[in-house]
Amino acid sequence: MEKIYSKFVKERKKEFQIETAIWKNENGKFITKRNLHKEGECHIQNIYDTFLMYQDKQILCKASLDGNVISFEYVSGNTLEEVFLESVKSGKKENVLEAVQKYEQILSLLCSEKEQADISRETEFTEVFGAPAGSFTGYRNMIFDLTFDNIICQGQSNRVIDYEWRFPFAVEKEFIKFRAVYAFLMKYSENINYLFTKEEFYEVFGLDISKCEIYMEYNRNFINYIYGNEGYNYILERYKKTTMTVCDERSLKMLKIYAIDNDILYENRTYELLLNSIREHRELYDDYHKFFKVTDKVKAISVVGYLFSKEFYEEFGAYIKDFYDMLEYYKHESEQKQKVIDEMSDMLEMKIQENIVLEEKYNHDCEALTNQIRSLEAKLEYIQSCKAYKAFLQKKVEERFK
């Protein structure tokens, strides 16, 4: 059996830190998850309990539990995320609607009417997601992380391949759906924009756009619940910068417009260079899509001169600040890790020297002991060769130790 992939999640709280591994043996591939700390035993057990709870629906990939290690079958096929992306790239809204219907069916299959409850009455909800913003119907024991990339499509059947999160209290179905749509938008908004605006794409899934900010707050609280105040996500949050809101169109129209072809060509080229840089480092800007929402609006109203506008420079300035703040953060992390490496190298060298000294002492002691044994053996051999020993001492010795 060979381990061909391994991923450690150590940024979470101890009770949620796990290793996910892919193994290969003579029968094929399989996946395992195990807790890294004793505090995580309940988390692994909860994953297996989720499989047992939904086993009859045959929607989750099969699992087995051995001690603190849970094993999953390796499921091959296209993810629902790939299905959605192909439907978007086809340029046909009806293809997207078919994919939406498929997701709705999977989501409905995991909602049990007997598990319905009002989330405002679920006291445990607040511990994970914060205070409920209203009185809404949800479902207990829902598969929570039901994103498109966690679903494998195999013809007419589907398999959920990662069901790490499930809560005994009620969670809104729309919240689970929102997380899946939001994650897809973050990855493929440029593809989606050819068919839908962000608001329209949410509406395709029947999501109320006015509640999205509530769901975003729930999701932020969920991340804090997993990672705690010492986690990596919390550290990154310290580097977020407040950026301007989308500016008033009346102020944009006051920008001076220069009707010169060369200026238009120059600014468009400069703008493309900036965009390429931002796309390349998009993970370093905490609101990558908002940059385009603001700057594209400036560009649309002022064909020439938008690069010199206050609005453009404020938004681009926010990006630059986030970029350098994050570089400083990575530099600090790198220096700290190098410090640890240097300390460990020094410790290793010290241990090597100690082992050399111990080895020399061992060799010296071993040689001295060997010489003593040989001396005693020689004395014993001499005694045994004496006539007195042969005459009566040998008999006494044999009787003593008989």
Say if residue 308's pLDDT is above 60. Answer: no
Collapse the DSSP code of 151 into the 3-class scheme (helix H, G, I; strand E, B; otherwise coil) and give the result. Answer: strand
Partners of 397 in beta bridges: none
Q: In this predicted model, which residue has the larger pLDDT, 384 or 35?
A: 35
pLDDT of res. 105: 93
Give the separation between CA 93 and CA 165, rounded to whole angstroms.
32
User: Residues 111-119: what's their mean pLDDT?
Assistant: 91
Q: Tens digit of pLDDT for each residue in 20-38? A: 999 999 989 999 999 999 9
- Which pLDDT score is estimated for 367? 84
DSSP string, 73-140: E---SEEHHHHHHHHHHTT-HHHHHHHHHHHHHHHHHT--GGGEEEGGG-HHHHHHH-S-SS--EEET
Mean pLDDT of 364-372: 85
Tokens matching residue 49:
């309990």
Tens of pLDDT along 218-272? 999 999 999 886 554 554 454 444 444 444 443 334 333 333 344 444 455 555 6
* Beta carbons within 8 Å of 246's beta carbon, 6+ residues apart: 293, 294, 297
Distances (CA, A) of 47 to 89, 141, 207: 35, 11, 28
pLDDT surpasses 80 at 302: no
pTM of the model: 0.59
In which band, very low, low, confident or very high, does the pLDDT at 294 lie, cut at 50, 70 and 90? low
Compare 362 and 292 and report the one with higher pLDDT: 362
At residue 385, the pLDDT reads 74
